[in-house]
Structure 1
């Protein structure tokens, strides 16, 4: 029976049974101060759609203790829908109990920020690991797809749609491909032990003892045991595979889903058209991921985004003969049935699990090395990421430039008391002291308090500057540079 997500209470306090987690984090231990329990590292693991992910540790553990991925989202600039998204992501991950889906431990909510404690995945992206393998074949790609289909099937059984599946959403838990517990879908054949029939040999020896002739017969039994290793063990890269990035996930039990998500080259046609959609959008994304795993090529990609979206809407999937001739027809059929424009004709997760390609004998699959195909895709992906980074930097510069004309004089603000301190800044309670200002505190009037965040300017890296802009971006009134090399943001928030 499908478990409806709507049955879970929409509250900030998500509980977990005691000792439910081997790492010692229990869902009921919600401290008001995140920093009382965790150490948030400066290393940024990833930048998501709703926040950044950092590496962190629990304070009570040793230096060599377990690491955690901590998703941080600034609290001040979050509007109510964004806060609901954070709680929705937490509830969804709590529902999904699968070995190949990232595990969530806890959510801290503070006035300043939201902190979601997640399983640390130190193996990097799937495609990066595959490219570094000594060999990579269709059989290896098939094993990865088995795991993905099984995990996506679990998501859909819980009435949940991921909506943001892409190669970057598939990470590995361990740095080494031969680590991690094997999944049920991928098993390594055990060694075969063969025992040969016993061989019996007899030796006769005659000797004279005094006046007697003695004959001695010795019988020897030899049994040979031969241990044979399997000829081929499926790729162990898939053993620690984890699906992540559930920030845009939705539950079909909450009502019709419409696209509120930015366009992506892995978005299904119905999402680009902003139509109601459901689980089939994940199957489209799976089809594209499988296409890339086999050919290293996204059939819909175009340098011009509008042209790319038109290709997706038409669904004109191209199987280049020079690449696909070394790949089995069953694999091609698997991809083609996922990349159907009509979501009603697209394979479901349950149908994909039964597809003949996932169960075919290894001898019927293509045996060529596919690493060269993925090398080409990695180069193309690196160029896309560089262009995206340049766009972000340009947007950040424009935002900084827009603050220039509205720089207030910090002398117009009286810092009353310090409210908090972060990694590279302090927050103060302040009042306006400028004369003639309608908002200033007058004689006999109650003081009007606002928050002033003072951030040191010297020594900040480009990423830290971008984080600052993201944190205060929607509610900043102005900025000024103090005499001690500090940037002070006057935040439009009454206290």
Structure 2
């Protein structure tokens, strides 16, 4: 651990692990408050891999741009030495992410799904207003704090839409928007598509576009044939189905923006 980090925080037990680093609980030596510290081992990033290197420094840069917001995990401090980058972040209870909740509790009642997706879309409205596209919205990146509020995290794949739209295949198979896979230019609405997939999974317990392999999943996403199987959607309201059709719309010009999602009757009128 960086000596500067140790001067400010007592680093405690490991609470998570990723491709490039480890997440620990840490305690401020000044306030006694608990945080999470995400420690990334720069040596595990392949020399010459510009994408991984970009992701390493993208996250703190983007988090500084979009913070503070009640539904976005906040970056409090950043430390770096020759071998590691340490990000001190808000602490959320271990394993309390949307993925684990779906596995343990799902499918969700509409009221619970509405509460979660509303907070998630509020975060999207905020970052899209700043020109930021997350590009990896998925249940694993939706954390819950001690008050059960949504905290969007993992901005390593995020980018800023400046004068030109974005290009490049980024994201996770089940959640990636079709225009990304088709190699077209894209913007903020890729996050709305991914959020629509998350909402569908919360209600159904399975993804709308599935396959045995990544290639099969991509083919299903590109077809965009949205179905509502009776076994999962028999008791789901017409209102949320309408919202899903408008979020998971292949035609980007007809797909809702994040702001329009918040104005949809299923969100505003409680179903």
TM-score (structure 2 length as normaliser): 0.87
Aligned to 1:482: none
Over 3 Å counting, the alpha-carbon distance change for 1:112 and 1:134 in structure 2 is closer
Is 1:56 paired with 2:9?
Answer: no
TM-score (structure 1 length as normaliser): 0.50
What does residue range 274-289 of structure 1 map to in structure 2 within 5 Å? 274-289=183-198
Structure 1 Cα separation of the partners of residues 59 and 257 of structure 2: 23
Is 1:94 paired with 2:64?
Answer: yes
What does residue range 219-238 of structure 1 map to in structure 2 within 5 Å? 237=148
Structure 2 Cα separation of the partners of residues 255 and 288 of structure 1: 26
Q: What displacement does 1:118 show? A: 1.0
Q: Deviations over 1:319-351 (max 9, x none)?
A: 102321201101000001111112222110111
Q: Which runs of 5+ in 2 are unaligned?
A: none
CA contact (8 A) 1:53 1:69 kept: no
Range 267-276 or range 288-297, more displaced: 267-276
Relative contact order, CA 8 A, sep 6+: which one is greater? 2
What does residue range 376-391 of structure 1 map to in structure 2 within 5 Å? none
Superposition CA RMSD, Å:
2.6
CA contact (8 A) 1:55 1:67 kept: no
Aligned to 1:38: 9
Is 1:305 paired with 2:214?
Answer: yes
Aligned to 1:173: 145
Q: Which has the higher strand share?
A: 1
Structure 1 Cα separation of the partners of residues 80 and 115 of structure 2: 39
Structure 1 Cα separation of the partners of residues 191 and 62 of structure 2: 16
Q: How many residues align?
A: 265
Q: What displacement does 1:295 show? A: 1.4
Structure 2 Cα separation of the partners of residues 263 and 149 of structure 1: 19
Q: Which has the higher helix share?
A: 2
CA contact (8 A) 2:136 2:171 kept: no
Structure 2 Cα separation of the partners of residues 314 and 71 of structure 1: 38
Is 1:331 paired with 2:262?
Answer: no
Q: Deviations over 1:291-315 (max 9, x none)?
A: 1111112121111321111010010
Q: Which runs of 5+ in 1 are unaligned?
A: 1-30, 175-179, 181-236, 366-495
Q: What displacement does 1:256 show? A: 3.5
Q: Deviations over 1:106-132 (max 9, x none)?
A: 211211211111111116112434666
Over 3 Å counting, the alpha-carbon distance change for 1:307 and 1:127 in structure 2 is closer
Q: What displacement does 1:173 show? A: 0.8
Aligned to 1:9: none
Structure 1 Cα separation of the partners of residues 129 and 12 of structure 2: 36
Q: Deviations over 1:16-38 (max 9, x none)?
A: xxxxxxxxxxxxxxx87433433
What does residue range 240-319 of structure 1 map to in structure 2 within 5 Å? 240-253=149-162, 255-261=164-170, 263-319=172-228
